[in-house]
A and B are shown apart, each in its own frame.
Chain A
Amino acid sequence: GESVGLHLPTLSVQEGDNSIINCAYSNSASDYFIWYKQESGKGPQFIIDIRSNMDKRQGQRVTVLLNKTVKHLSLQIAATQPGDSAVYFCAENIGGGADGLTFGKGTHLIIQP
């Protein structure tokens, strides 16, 4: 199976609410994680990243939490807006190698008006 996966394929939230997208990984050697946003017909867009020596990192309206004990990663989006509708992927890099990222299958975030 894949090293990186997501708990839910689709997440529906009300506009203005907070969204939480989860990701599980199985390789304890993974030391760098990235969240990407992919809108329909476009390439993945970098949102935020976190290294394994951190538990939390905040950006503009987004927060990534890393729980190494249970190998779990989450992306929190505050005050969800219609423009946040997209597929969100978590990706991991193992050992800092330049051999690409391992991606999960993605979660489709749907914003209800």
Chain B
Amino acid sequence: NAGVTQTPKFQVLKTGQSMTLQCAQDMNHNSMYWYRQDPGMGLRLIYYSASEGTTDKGEVPNGYNVSRLNKREFSLRLESAAPSQTSVYFCASSAGLLSGSQETQYFGPGTRLLVL
């Protein structure tokens, strides 16, 4: 199992450009999450999807949109990138409440985004 995979690994954008960060998991997990991590900070939740077909805002959703394409895939889109969105983005997944199991989240390797 690859676990949680993310593409791309690195990206440089100009202000105003758009892009989509891709995430996929092969653990048959119900819930998926997008976090951002800034220097010296913990991870902050952007959006999450508790189950296929649902998405909800997290702590810092402004400037982002998400799509839960299917059970495996959860993408994060920046419609008009801003320098404040320079960060490392992590996708995570968990079995979720629907499975009745614990909420342990498993993380991907991250996407490093620089917005100029």
Residues of A within 8 A of B (CB): 2, 4, 9, 32, 34, 36, 41-46, 49, 89, 91, 93, 96-101, 103-106
B102 touches A32 (CB 8 A): yes
Residue of A4, A9, A106 ringed by the most chain B CB atoms within 10 A: A106
Q: Give bound CA distance, A4 to B59, whole Å.
A: 14
A106-B42 contact in complex given A43-B108, A100-B48, C-beta closer than 8 Å: yes
**Would you list the 7 A-B pairs with minimal beta carbon distance, nearest first?**
A103-B42, A43-B107, A100-B45, A98-B50, A103-B43, A98-B31, A44-B107
Task: Kindly state whether residue B40 has any CB partner on chain A within 8 Å.
Answer: yes
Number of A-B contacts (CB under 8 A): 68
Q: Could you list 7 examples of A-B contacts with CB < 8 Å? A: A36-B107, A91-B42, A98-B48, A100-B35, A103-B43, A105-B40, A105-B41
Residues of B near any A CB (own CB < 8 A): 4, 30-31, 33, 35, 40-45, 48, 50-51, 56, 58-59, 90, 92, 94, 96-97, 102-110
Per a CB cutoff under 8 Å, which of A34, A43, A89 touches B42?
Answer: A89
Contact B58 A99 (CB under 8 A): yes
Inter-chain contacts of B45 with A (CB < 8 A): 99-101
Question: Could you tell me the distance between the alpha carbons of A43 and B107 in the complex, rounded to whole angstroms?
Answer: 6
Contact of A43 with B109 in the complex, beta carbons under 8 Å: yes
Contact status of A32 and B103, CB under 8 A, knowing A96-B97, A98-B96: yes
> Whose C-beta in chain B lies nearest to the C-beta of A87?
B42
Closest residue of chain B to A51 (Cβ to Cβ) is: B102
Residues of B with C-beta under 8 A to A49: 102, 104
> Given A42-B110, A43-B107, A43-B110, does the pair A98, B97 have CB atoms closer than 8 Å?
yes
> Which of chain B's residues have a CB closer than 8 A to the CB of A104?
42
Query: For residue A43, which residues in chain B have a CB less than 8 angstroms away from its CB?
Result: 4, 90, 92, 107-110
- Indicate if the CB atoms of B43 and A89 lie closer than 8 Å: yes
Q: How far is the CA of A109 from the CA of B73 in the complex (A)?
A: 34
Contact B33 A100 (CB under 8 A): yes
